[in-house]
Amino acid sequence: MEAAEDRARSHVSASAGHDARVLAFLLPQFHPIPENDAWWGAGFTEWRNVVQARPLFRGHHQPQLPADLGFYDLRLPDTRAAQAGLARAHGIHGFVWHHYWFGGRRLLERPFDEVLSSGQPDFPFCLCWANEPWSRRWDGREQDVLMAQAYSPEDDLAHARWLADACADPRYIRIDGRPLLLVYRATLLPEPKRTADIWRSELTRLGVAEPFLCRVESYFPEEYSDPALIGFDAAVEFPPHWAATAVGVKLRRSRPWWWSRRLRLTASAFGTHHIYDYESVAQASATRLAPAYRRFPGVTPGWDNTARKDQGATVLIRSTPEKYEGWLRTALDRGESFVFVNAWNEWAEGCHLEPDLHWGHAYLEATARAVGLRAAASVRASC
């Protein structure tokens, strides 16, 4: 795979660009586990949702199907190496792996554990603790809890000791020498300051250095406040979840639309789902006032989770690589050290930089242009 990565690198050249580096969230839900077999059926992975998606209105880009990497299995080292090769070739500095810890029990852990133990691929990474309880929210039954969280000082300590091994890896992404660690729902922690203090103390004691802790600003309004109030260092934008409150009225919600719908002249999806214009979301993000605290900017190439939800999905329409590139350039110009992209491979949420059959490498090439790289029209990381 090293030869493939060398070939990919040979297709790009650095130019005067931005100091900020791009990090992309990576979902590990692309291999079967016993728990998902029990909850969703034998052999379940995210691909099952992806292939069931259907277009709901004219111009609706569904299903979104993978191109270069195919319907991969993240247990395969070749797949992980190919992902890193594609990302590196297009100016992405590292991956933010979603990490699932439930009172000492980890789920979807195998791909990351193998990355850690094997030392391959040689590509930077950090972790985001996705600390929500698992429920059937994907299919509209949010109260049906499948895996609950259990917080305690003892668990904070055990978690810190596990995190220390990951954070000590030379590939782990750091800020001023401190390992970067994100928490998706910081306000779900019963005592976030206690958790932060325990983690800082234990990782320092173990010789790793205290972590640089970031809360994630996503859909939940309670996550939008000064991270220092809960003992954290900074925040990370995670669009487009905030679009529901930051962008305004959904598309097709005017009085003429209601009459059109009653006359069955427009698609019912505009009534059963939350549909927004991508450019309006990007512009709203680009013009947000900077908070008094440190916040890393985030962008997304798109969003469409109708593959997961029959009702109440959020859809951003009319996304193009050029519009995404403009948003990313604006984020890179904010002067922060990192910009976060949601996401590398959220296929069932219509949110991915990995090549698909519709756009090919276009979003990756837009990323490369934004960070100051010239990508070849077709850079393929093969094994």
HSE (CB half, 13 Å, CA atoms) of 234? 18
- pLDDT tens digits, residue range 212-234? 999 999 988 899 999 999 999 99
Instruction: Indicate whether 259 belongs to any domain.
Output: yes
Instruction: Indicate whether 273 belongs to any domain.
Output: yes
Instruction: Indicate whether 87 belongs to any domain.
Output: yes
pLDDT for 373: 73
Please, what sign has the CA dihedral across residues 170, 174, 176, 180? negative
| 236 DSSP 8-state letter | E
Instruction: Indicate whether 283 belongs to any domain.
Output: yes
Asked if 206 contacts 198 with a C-beta cutoff of 8 angstroms, the reply is: no
pTM, to two decimals: 0.89
Q: Compute the residue count for the chain.
A: 383
| 304 DSSP 8-state letter | B
Q: What are the structure tokens assigned to 328, written together?
A: 């990313």
Instruction: Indicate whether 380 belongs to any domain.
Output: no
Least Cα distance to 21 among 81, 95, 98 occurs for 95
CA gyration radius for the chain? 20
Residues of the chain with pLDDT under 70: 1-18, 137-143, 242-267, 374-383
Question: What CATH number has the domain bearing residue 300?
Answer: 3.20.20.80
Cα distance between residue 362 and residue 358, in whole Å: 9
Question: Phi, psi at residue 122, to the nearest 5°?
Answer: -80, 80
- For the chain, the maximum distance between any two Cα atoms, rounded to a whole number of angstroms, is 68
Cα distance between residue 6 and residue 288, in whole Å: 39
- pLDDT tens digits, residue range 49-77? 999 999 998 889 999 999 999 999 999 99
Instruction: Indicate whether 349 belongs to any domain.
Output: yes
Residue 101: helix, strand or coil by DSSP? strand
Cα distance between residue 218 and residue 238, in whole Å: 5
Q: What angle do CA 156, 159, 163 make, to 5 degrees?
A: 135
Provide the Cα torsion 188, 194, 196, 197; round to 10°: 180
Domain tally for the chain?
A: 1
Please, what sign has the CA dihedral across residues 253, 257, 263, 265? negative
Q: Is 311 exposed, middle or buried (0-12, 13-18, 19+ CB in 10 A)?
A: exposed
Domain with 327, as residue range(s), is 2-371
Instruction: Indicate whether 37 belongs to any domain.
Output: yes
3-state DSSP: the chain helix, strand, coil percent, rounded to 5?
A: 35, 20, 45
**Cα end-to-end distance, the chain, whole Å:** 5
Asked if 251 contacts 281 with a C-beta cutoff of 8 angstroms, the reply is: no
Instruction: Indicate whether 126 belongs to any domain.
Output: yes
Q: What are the structure tokens assigned to 48, written together?
A: 């099952």
